[in-house]
Structure formats: structure tokens, C-alpha cells
Structure 1
Amino acid sequence: MSSRFENFEEKREEKIRKAFKERDWNEIKSTDSWVIFKVISEFVEGFEKLSKIGPCVSVFGSARTPADHPHYKVAEELSAKLVRHGYGVITGGGPGIMEAANKGAASENGRSVGLCIKLPFEAKGNIYIDPDKMIMFDYFFVRKVMFTKYSQGFVVLPGGFGTLDELFEAMTLIQTIKIGRFPIVLVGKEYWSGLMDWIKSTLLEQYNYINAEDLDLFILVDDATEAVKVIDDFYSKYLLTPNY
């Protein structure tokens, strides 16, 4: 077992033990009060830095995607196209797909935003984020608020648990009318088709846990040009164009 993995296991066990530890009232009050203020400070920083960024599209995808992978190239290409069409790009600020998207935006001198999360194995943003548009978060839920509050569309490339979390967060908020019905574009039909088939056959047809119209919350495409066209077509329907 690698030392890195052992360190992760130690951190996990420490959190489990801490959850069962009895605390007196003073400890609870001081610890929880600090958390409250930290959460508020992250919201304040996010609102201040992102309130004037203009129309942006969030690009989600795996941090593990190497730079020579086709998914990386697609993310870079589509982000450059988004900038040329008037949009800024928001990512989670890390490596892989996130780095590719920020790189594509930066290559066209577009707005390149990085909402970074502090993790044991990922502690800083990639080099393609605008310095004044990089924010570090301790809390995933605060970070996800920023993604959904300041994005006018979501492009989702292949990824793991984190990508799925962001995808279903966006779909749930749109489904429940907590945010506008912004376009959600899944790039990579081969990668996403199994999940989409399961949503249709199991969630809808077998258990009726979603409505048929919920399948319209997302669109599957295969390349960067198609992805950007979905975003453009959506906004042309409302006679809206990016304003910078």
C-alpha cells in the first residue's frame, strides 16, 4: 500500500473516530461557530468575485484525464469556441478536463474562472485560470452554489463521482425550478449512453421516479462544435446574446 493511500486512510479513520467523540458544550459552540463564519466568508468571497463575470458556461469533467487524451482535446476546443461565441468558462479549477477548459478559454483571452476545492491530493488551481477569478473552497456545497448561480449553461465531459455530483445537482435544480432551464450538454455519447439508458429504462419506465419530460433536461453530443451549437441555439430562441 502506498504512503499516499495510507495517509488517506488515516484521514478517513480520523474523521470516523471524531464523529463518535463526545464533546462538551463549549467545544461544540466554538467549533461550530467557526464553521459558520468560514462558510459565510466563502459565500461572500464567491459572490464578490463572480457577480460581474458576465455570461458563463460551466465545464465539468474528470481531474484524471491526461493532456494527450481525446477528451482533454475536446474540452480545450469547446472552451475556446465558447469564448469566441461570447461566453466565459467556469471550471472546478483542477487538472484534467478542468485544466483543458481553462486552457481553451485562456487561449482566446476569454474569462477563465476556477472554483477550486481544497483536497488532500489537489491543493491549488491550474495555471490557466485568471488570477482574479480563482477562488479556493473548503466546502463542496458552497462551491456548487457558485457553479449553479453564475452559469448560464453546463457542459459535462466524461468524469467520475464528482462530475456525476455536479451533473445531477444541475439537473435537480432545473427540474425543481430552483434555477432557470439552462442547457445541459453531455459530451461523449459512448461514455454517457449507458447512464442515460438506465435513467430512461429504470427511473422512468420501470419505476416512474421521473417524468418523461425530464429526459429533455439534457442533450447528448459527440464533439465541441455540437456542444457550442446547443448553447447558441438555446439563447437564440430567447433572442439573447452574450453581453461582452
Structure 2
Amino acid sequence: MTSDPRISQFRDAGEDMRHARGLPDTPQGRSPTYRLAYADTDFLLRDEMRGVRLQLELSKAEIDLTERGIDSTVVIFGSARIPEPRKRDSAPSPGLAALADYYGIAREFARAIAERSIASGGRDYVIATGGGPGIMEAGNRGAADAGSDTIGFNIVLPHEQRPNQYVTPELCFNFHYFAVRKMHFLMRARAIAVFPGGFGTLDEMFEAITLIQTGRMKRVPIVIFGAAYWKRIVNFPALVEAGVIAEADLGLLSFVETVDEALAVIDSGL
């Protein structure tokens, strides 16, 4: 029963659910129409209820993060496929094996940020990742190395993405909607670190850049690890030459190679 004085005079919704389980087994009681709407999974999964499900995904993580006292985050994006360096030989391609060092860099970066978070009371600059393997695991692992809470925003994929073991269990979330997941990545973000990755990483990076460029989000430092990789994948100057972005827009991105460089950019941006 809630202790909120504004609604404490009303019967608890959970009590009604428990009461419904004890009703006589009759054709009326078994009818789907008799189920309480909020306890009716079949009803909640209807196409017409998509808006409600979007709101539930937004609200659940927001309420939990607020109750845990998380005020701000540092977000790490990067490939789920980049292996830990000691597993380099098991990488499915030479290209991924060549990127294995970024696992260690992401872990080191996350640990450095987490140590700062702990020093400030643990409410700010909490490491947040997509909660899966690869670079995401490295980020959560680095924060765990420092003894900090760390967030994982997982998503249900056709090939199940399991949360990595380093995410704080009480801060491990799961989403159906990519859009809501990306909102939570950015709602508390005070800095963003981007490591080599594929379509998902590109999507997350450009979402953040676009929101900042268009003024829909406050500017935060965006540090991109691995200039050689990224400048081969995306020809950013060509966008300026074509006139589709302004040259000043390139200033939204800072290419770095080391943790110290990244921290310096973040410190100056904050």
C-alpha cells in the first residue's frame, strides 16, 4: 500500500488483483472481458495499446533511476562484437581482432569516470551502456572495477542480447522499443563516448549529434575513440564540402585515442 498522502485513501490496485484471483471459477469470471485492464496481458499487447506500452517503457526506467538517485550519466556506445583482448584469437574476423584493444580502453575509460562518480557521491556521471557484450561489457566492467553502480539499457533482439554480468542488477533494464531506449541513453547524459561499432553504434551516435545540432538537446561532449576507424567509415569533411552540414557542426565531435585525451575533452566541455 502506498504511503503517498495524496492517494492513500484509495484502495491499492494490487489488492484488487489479489482479490480477483479468489473469485469463484465461473464462465463470467473466466471471461477475458472481466479481467482488470492493467492485469490483462492480452489486452496490453494489442496494437491499439502501443502508446500505453511506449509510456510504460519510458516511465519504468525513469522511476527506477530517480528512486536510485541517478542524476546524470556518461554513456558509452560501441560494438557488441569487439572481443576482450585475451579472446582476440576467437574473433570471427581479422578486422574484429584488430579492434580488440578498444575493449581495454573502454574499460579503462569507464573506470576513470566511475572513480570520479564515486568521489562526487555516486549520483552523477554514472556509466551507462547498452548492457550487452563487447564494448558495452567493457564499460560496465570498468565501472564495476571501481566499485560504482553502472546502468545497462538492454533491448530484446531476434538473437537474444543477454545483459552482461557487470551491470548493477537493480539498474539493468530491458526494452522493446529502440526509440524509448535511445531516449533513456540521452535523458541524463552529460558526456558520450563512442567506440568503433556498426549500424547500432552509428545510429546511436548520429541520433545524439542530430539532437544537439538541431537544438533539441543541450550540448554535451562527444568523444570518439579511434580516428582512423571512424574517418574511414564516415567521411565527415565530405558532408561539409557537399554543403549538407556547416563546418561548425564538426566541432560537435572530438576524436581521441587515449583515456586521458577523452577526459580532457570532457572536463573542458563540462
Q: Does 1:167 align with 2:205?
A: yes
Query: SS of 1:185's equivalent?
Result: strand
Query: How far apart, CA to CA, are the structure 2 residues paired with 1:233 and 1:41?
Result: 37
Q: Which residue of 2 aligns with 1:35?
A: 50
Shift of 1:32: 2.1
Q: For residue 72 of structure 1, what is the amino acid of its counterpart?
A: Y
Q: What secondary structure does 1:135 align onto?
A: strand
Residue 89 (1) aligns with residue 127 (2): yes
The match for 1:71 among 102, 109, 126 is 102
Residues in 2 aligned to 1:44 and 1:31: alpha-carbon distance in whole angstroms: 19
Report if aligned partners of 1:53, 1:111 keep a CA contact under 8 Å in 2.
Answer: no
Separation in 2, partners of 1:154, 1:122: 25
Unaligned runs of 5+ in 2: 1-43, 86-99, 118-124
- Compared CA separation, residues 38 and 219, structure 1 to 2 (3 A): same
Name structure 1 gaps, 5 residues minimum. Answer: 1-28, 236-244
Equivalents in 1 of 2:147, 2:73: separation in Å?
A: 14
Q: Which residue of 2 aligns with 1:22?
A: none
1:103 aligns with 2:134: no
Quick one: distance in 2 between partners of 1:55 and 1:110?
14
Match of 1:93, SS? coil
CA distance in 1, matches of 2:45, 2:219: 41
1:133 Cα offset (Å): 0.7
- Please name the residue that 1:204 is paired with: 240
CA distance in 1, matches of 2:135, 2:167: 13
Cα deviation, residue 85, structure 1: 2.2
Separation in 2, partners of 1:164, 1:173: 14
Q: Is 1:53 aligned with 2:91?
A: no
Offset, 1:57: 0.5
* Aligned residue identity for 1:131: P
**What is the CA deviation profile of residues 67-121 of structure 1, one whole-angstrom value per residue up to 9, with x for unaligned ones?**
1120110110000011122221000000000000000001101220000001122
Q: Secondary structure at the match of 1:153?
A: strand
Shift, 1:169, TM fit: 0.3
Corresponding letter in the other structure for 2:63: E
Task: Give the superposition deviation at 1:38.
Answer: 1.6
| Displaced runs of 4 or more, over 6 A | none
**Aligned position for 2:227:** 189
**In percent, how many aligned pairs have the same letter?**
40
Of residues 253, 261, 268, the one that matches 1:218 is: 253
TM-score between the two structures when normalised by the length of structure 1: 0.80
Deviation (angstroms), 1:233 = 2.0
RMSD: 1.5
SS at match of 2:46: helix
The whole-number CA distance in structure 2 between the counterparts of 1:99 and 1:200 is: 32
Per the TM alignment, residue 195 of structure 1 is displaced from its structure 2 partner at its CA by 4.0
Work out whether residues 50 and 150 of structure 1, in 8 Å CA contact, stay in contact via their aligned partners in 2.
no
